[in-house]
Amino acid sequence: MPFEIRAIESAEVDDLLVADQRGFGGAPPRPGASRSWAAAELDRTRVAFDSGHIVGVSRTYTFELTMPGGAMLPAAAVSWVSVQPTHRRRGVLTQLMAAMHDDARARDEPAAILTASESSIYGRFGYGVAAWRLAMTAEKSRIEFARPDHDDGSMRLVTLDEAVVAIPPVYDRARHTRAGMVTRPEFWWEQVFWEFMVGQAKASFVAIHADAQGNDDGYVVYSITGEGAGGLVDRRLTIIDMQAETPAAWIRLWRYVFSVDLIATVSAFNLPVDDPLRHVVVDGRSVRVDFVNDHLWLAPLDPLAILGARTYSIAGRLVISAHAADGTTSTVAVESNADGTFCVATNEEPDLVCDAPVFGTCVLGGNRWSELAAAGRLEVRRPEAVALADAMFLATPAPALLSFF
Ligand SMILES: CC(C)(COP(=O)(O)OP(=O)(O)OC[C@H]1O[C@@H](n2cnc3c(N)ncnc32)[C@H](O)[C@@H]1OP(=O)(O)O)[C@@H](O)C(=O)NCCC(=O)NCCS
């Protein structure tokens, strides 16, 4: 029997937090901790009840997703998904996903996006891996930059109180420069960033880069952990958040983290796959990749609107037939030429036919269509279309979600 699904009201936020803690097996919230992320946009919560008790939690937030070319796509950002251990594998999540997608469609959001606790969950609901994240570790002693630093800007360390004011505007400018990036609303920063991500580190620091004119154009937030064992430094600097408006500022931040003293190791867990560090050091092999994991998942709710919101790397014309997450099919003629991008619904024979996860995987340019064709997951009706699609959908810089929600 289906469970009751509805949005919760502010009096029920405490119950939501308890259900979230049980669903994820986490620690209870610290007394007095921020609830800004929990209490926002409650009309977008979709919570499952059994006999009046919460048995499943889910919600979406009103986000913008940066598209290749810089347009902002309205997107339903799915978050807080959990089902109580007592009610798993009884279809609760399936009901919640349908409810969230219905709501997003009613709001004319062409895409739903999320980050996943496990990569095996969301393909069945129409999601594909639109952008990957790379984690890396490097021993500081092995890192030598190949060229001298010609930066004419400056770095400064700020207090956390100063950072609360200074870094959100930098993030907001930086997110426009890369496909796959998303909004960080004020209510996100307070609870998710300052409370959860930074607040859990005992020693955390914020360094901001300003350009030669004194305008802030990048920052890095990092923690330092570990001890000096037997008098030898064995401490780790972990990058919590690094953002920059320009490639030059990004490199400058790398130089900075490798210049911090009393550190043996530098690590980062959410870098774009085109991170340039290995190209700017003498020994690229000393930049060790720990993992490359799925990060941004995208489900199309309106494939035509998504295709029309991005730009294409070269001129060309393709006809793509794609399923949306609800199984409906759109056949779209995508044309890019000197006058711009034109996407229209068509009855023409498609060149490529894909399901919703493959569409979500390829649409931002974070994966090549040819990879999916090689994997047997793309139906190719016109073989020349695959290489053309690879070239047209290429996005520079590589799509990445340098955030999470
Ligand atoms: C992941 C989770 C929300 C699934 O909820 P659920 O109500 O058990 O899911 P459903 O019963 O609707 O399952 C739907 C289908 O997905 C499959 N599925 C569910 N969770 C899965 C998982 N973790 N890995 C692989 N498959 C999974 C089910 O087997 C089922 O398959 P079927 O349709 O072939 O029978 C739940 O297990 C959970 O709360 N996990 C811990 C918290 C978490 O990881 N949340 C996700 C955050 S991104």
DSSP string, 311-375: --SS-EEEEEEEE-TTS-EEEEEEEEETTEEEEEE--SPPSEEE-HHHHHHHTTSSS-HHHHHHT
Distance of CA 297 from the midpoint of ligand 1 (Å): 16
Distance of CA 119 from the midpoint of ligand 1 (Å): 11
Q: How far apart are CA 395 and CA 312, in angstroms?
A: 8
CB 95 within 8 A of CB 145: no
Distance of CA 184 from the midpoint of ligand 1 (Å): 27
* CA distances for 345 relative to 111, 264, 320, angstroms: 17, 56, 10
Distance of CA 97 from the midpoint of ligand 1 (Å): 11
* CA distances for 95 relative to 17, 90, 100, 274, 300, angstroms: 20, 10, 9, 37, 18
Tell whether domain 303-393 is in CATH 3.30.1360.30: no
Does residue 29 sit in helix, strand or coil? coil
- For ligand 1, atom 3, name the residue with the nearest CA: 82
Q: How far apart are CA 45 and CA 17, in angstroms?
A: 13
CB 295 within 8 A of CB 54: no
The DSSP call for residue 194 is: I
The DSSP call for residue 45 is: B
Q: What is the pLDDT of residue 1?
A: 73
Q: What is the pLDDT of residue 252?
A: 98
Q: What is the pLDDT of residue 135?
A: 98
Q: How far apart are CA 252 and CA 216, in angstroms?
A: 13
Same fold, 134-293 and 303-393: no
Q: How far apart are CA 395 and CA 309, in angstroms?
A: 13
Q: What is the pLDDT of residue 249?
A: 98
Q: What is the pLDDT of residue 230?
A: 83
Distance of CA 93 from the midpoint of ligand 1 (Å): 6
Ligand 1 atom with minimal separation from the 80 CA: 47
Q: How far apart are CA 374 and CA 356, in angstroms?
A: 17
Which residues on neighbouring strands pair with residue 155, listed in sequence order? 209
Q: What is the pLDDT of residue 211?
A: 98
Tell whether domain 134-293 is in CATH 3.30.390.30: no
- For ligand 1, atom 43, name the residue with the nearest CA: 82
Burial class (CB in 10 A: 0-12, 13-18, 19+), 152: exposed
- For ligand 1, atom 22, name the residue with the nearest CA: 121
Task: Write out residues with Cβ below 6 Å of ligand 1.
Answer: 23-24, 81-83, 88-94, 116-118, 120-121, 124
Which residues on neighbouring strands pair with residue 341, listed in sequence order? 336
* CA distances for 262 relative to 43, 227, 239, 241, 257, angstroms: 48, 10, 16, 21, 11
Mutational pocket test of ligand 1: of 61, 88, 95, the residue with most ligand atoms within 8 Å of the beta carbon: 88
Distance of CA 113 from the midpoint of ligand 1 (Å): 17
- For ligand 1, atom 26, name the residue with the nearest CA: 121
Topology (CATH) of 4-129: Aminopeptidase (3.40.630)
pLDDT in tens, the chain (405 residues): 799 999 999 999 999 999 999 999 998 888 899 999 999 999 999 999 999 999 999 999 999 999 999 999 999 999 999 999 999 999 999 999 999 999 999 999 999 999 999 999 999 999 999 999 999 999 999 999 999 999 999 999 999 999 999 999 999 999 999 999 999 999 999 999 999 999 888 899 999 999 999 999 999 999 999 987 788 889 999 999 999 999 999 999 999 999 999 999 999 999 999 999 999 999 999 999 999 999 999 999 999 999 999 999 999 999 999 999 999 999 999 999 999 999 999 999 999 999 999 999 999 999 999 999 999 999 999 999 999 999 999 999 999 999 999
Distance of CA 290 from the midpoint of ligand 1 (Å): 27
Domain ranges of the chain: 4-129, 134-293, 303-393
Tokens of 120: 């095996």
Ligand 1 atom with minimal separation from the 96 CA: 12
